[in-house]
């Protein structure tokens, strides 16, 4: 490992700009192994555990529980016991100055909106800086989701192609009024968006309801689809799980969703 290793606020997806430190699982002086659970971090979209990037000793904690910090901000320092306190102090000061400079230059891609079939559709486009063509990819989320369902995937996929993630009507930042909530109606909106973006043929990846829409798009609009990837696709069983759908719609708080989400898992 490096002599001194920073523990920083992670960036879990492009939309994440800050994180709230909700708990420390280690104290100053504790030995840590790479992958140990160090702290709990929450953003507006996700709550997750931050793991130790390397092994050593947690020598310094510089962020307090319940503190909200920008992505990349220093939370703590891991180093071997042989590293002096003076070296740790100098490193912390250097990292804070470096972070301030990085934050001033950082830019976060923001979603855009288009009008499609009388509805406003929000989407996020990511593409390589030197993008010159190639087959674009369109990502379609499932029931109750939004474009942030792809927050861990879109940037990686966009290293070699333009990638569009959209909010379906009634979801995310798109129009809440849904003109036609049927599978064909929603598929038609995706087709209209692809045309509005001027893409021609695309690859389409869909999750859950989005997977059913991706397949339907290939059937109804073959001139727009090159290939389809389906993830946990809806429509393969004999019936929709009404307990899940009704519970999801009725949930008003995160804790209300726990028993509903458990319906999606066998164990």
Question: For 117-156, how does the pLDDT look when each residue is reduced to its tens digit (9 = 90+)?
Answer: 889 999 999 988 776 667 999 999 999 899 999 988 998 8
Residue 256 located in a structural domain: no
- Same domain? For 77 and 123 the reply is no
Averaged over 30-37, what is the pLDDT? Answer: 95
- Among the candidates 87, 105, 123, a domain finishes at 105
pLDDT score, position 170: 93
pLDDT at 79 (0 to 100): 94
**Banded pLDDT at 45 (limits 50, 70, 90):** confident
Residue 260 covered by a domain: no
Residue 76's SS3 state is strand
Domain containing 51 equals 4-105
Averaged pLDDT, 226-250: 86
Identify the pLDDT of residue 194. Answer: 97
142 and 221 in a single domain? The answer is: yes
Within this chain, do residues 76 and 146 fall inside the same structural domain, yes or no? no
- Does residue 149 share a domain with residue 218? yes
The answer to whether residues 138 and 191 belong to one domain is yes
Mark whether 94 and 46 lie in a shared domain: yes
Same-domain status, 97 and 171: no
Q: Do 93 and 187 fall within a single domain?
A: no
Band of residue 249 on the pLDDT scale cut at 50, 70, 90: confident
Q: Are residues 77 and 143 in the same domain?
A: no
- Report for 12-16, 44-48, 106-110, 234-238: range of highest mean pLDDT: 44-48
Query: How many separate domains does the chain show?
Result: 2
Answer whether residue 262 is part of any domain.
Answer: no
Instruction: Return the ∠ at Cα 27 (arms to 24 and 33), rounded to 5°.
Output: 90
**Confidence band of 52 (pLDDT split at 50, 70, 90):** very high
Confidence (pLDDT) at 152: 85
Mean pLDDT computed over 158-172: 94
- Residue 89 included in any domain: yes
* CATH number for position 78: 2.40.50.100
Are 34 and 10 in a shared domain? Answer: yes
255 in a structural domain: no
- Residue for token digits 């529980």? 65
68 in the same domain as 148: no
Assess if residue 20 is contained within a domain: yes
- Asked, for residue 173, whether it belongs to a domain, the answer is yes
Whether residue 107 has pLDDT greater than 70: no
Sheet with 31-32, side-by-side order of all strands: 4-8, 74-79, 56-61, 31-32
Q: Which of 105, 121, 149 is the last residue of a domain?
A: 105
Please check whether residue 138 is in contact with residue 221, taking contact to mean a CB–CB distance below 8 angstroms. no
User: Residue 153's domain is classified under what CATH number?
Assistant: 3.40.50.1820
- CA–CA separation, 109 vs 160, rounded Å? 17
Q: In 10 A of CB 207, how many CB atoms?
A: 24
CB–CB of 4/91 below 8 Å?
A: yes
């Amino acid at each position: 490992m490096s002599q001194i290793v920073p523990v920083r606020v992670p960036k879990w997806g492009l939309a994440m700009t800050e994180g709230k430190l909700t708990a420390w699982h280690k104290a100053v002086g504790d030995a840590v192994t790479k992958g140990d659970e160090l702290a709990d971090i929450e953003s507006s979209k996700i709550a997750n555990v931050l793991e130790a990037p390397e092994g050593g000793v947690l020598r310094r904690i510089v962020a307090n529980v319940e503190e909200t910090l920008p992505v990349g901000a220093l939370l703590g320092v891991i180093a071997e016991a042989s590293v002096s306190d003076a070296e740790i102090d100098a490193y912390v000061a250097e990292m804070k100055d470096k972070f301030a400079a990085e934050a001033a230059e950082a830019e976060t891609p923001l979603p855009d909106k288009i009008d499609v079939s009388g509805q406003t559709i929000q989407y996020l486009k990511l593409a390589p800086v030197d993008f010159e063509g190639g087959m674009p990819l369109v990502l379609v989320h499932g029931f109750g989701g939004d474009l942030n369902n792809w927050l861990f995937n879109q940037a990686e996929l966009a290293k070699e192609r333009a990638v569009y993630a959209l909010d379906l009507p009634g979801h995310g930042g798109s129009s809440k009024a849904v003109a036609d909530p049927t599978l064909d109606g929603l598929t038609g909106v995706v087709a209209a968006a692809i045309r509005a973006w001027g893409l021609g043929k695309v690859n389409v990846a869909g999750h859950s309801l989005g997977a059913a829409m991706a397949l339907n798009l290939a059937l109804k609009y073959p001139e727009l689809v090159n290939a389809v990837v389906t993830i946990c696709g809806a429509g393969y069983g004999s019936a929709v799980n009404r307990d899940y759908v009704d519970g999801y719609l009725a949930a008003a708080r995160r804790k209300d969703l726990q028993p509903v989400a458990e319906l999606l898992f066998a164990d």
